[in-house]
Structure 1
Amino acid sequence: MPAPVPFLLEAEHVELNQLLKLVGLCDSGGAGKALVASGAVRVDGAVELRKTCKIRAGQTVALGSHSIHVHAAD
């Protein structure tokens, strides 16, 4: 299982589909939306189907064996 990917949040939030693109788990925001719509993405352990769900510092996003830990830039 890959190590968790840290993501430094420089704003109040990032949209879920964009986060997947920014960390390299998909090639585009559109591909991120498709992954979310398929039910493959979890936020804090629960399936998230809202493609542009606002992800904030302290949350964890998982896709398959990959996980992303979102941290505040402060």
Structure 2
Amino acid sequence: MSTPVDVPIRDESIRLGQFLKLANLVESGSDAKPAVQQGLVRVNGEVETRRGRQLQRGDVVELGGLAARVADEGELSDDLPW
């Protein structure tokens, strides 16, 4: 796994499918569904098969060797490295 990149969100939580797109771990929202259903996505080190899972700040999402952490909106202003 790569070092997680902080991806800021505005609200208190975000759904896994939305976060995958926001973090550029998938190209489109429609790509999130099969990735999650196939067990390719991990949240905090565990396989997650629910695209609607609510993520909180600090949760780490992994897909395809890349990792992103849910961060507070004010925590990061840099672009993602991928």
- Give the structure-2-normalised TM-score: 0.79
User: SS of the counterpart of 1:7?
Assistant: strand
CA distance in 2, matches of 1:66, 1:9: 18
Matched ranges for 1:22-41 at <5 A:
22-41=22-41
User: SS of the counterpart of 1:30?
Assistant: helix
Read off the aligned partner of 2:4 and give its amino acid letter.
Answer: P
**Alpha carbons 2:4, 2:60 under 8 Å: kept:** no
Moved >4 Å (runs of 4+): none
CA distance in 2, matches of 1:68, 1:59: 8
Number of residue pairs aligned between Structure 1 and Structure 2: 74
Query: What are structure 1's unaligned runs of at least 5 residues?
Result: none
Residue 80 (structure 2) pairs with residue 46 (structure 1): no
Percent identical residues: 36
User: SS of the counterpart of 2:61?
Assistant: strand
Residue 62 (structure 2) pairs with residue 66 (structure 1): no
Partner of 1:56: 56
Q: RMSD in angstroms over aligned alpha carbons?
A: 1.5
User: SS of the counterpart of 2:67?
Assistant: strand
Q: 1:45 to 1:3 in 2, by over 3 A?
A: closer
Partner of 1:13: 13
Query: What are structure 2's unaligned runs of at least 5 residues?
Result: 75-82
CA distance in 2, matches of 1:2, 1:31: 21
- Give the structure-1-normalised TM-score: 0.87
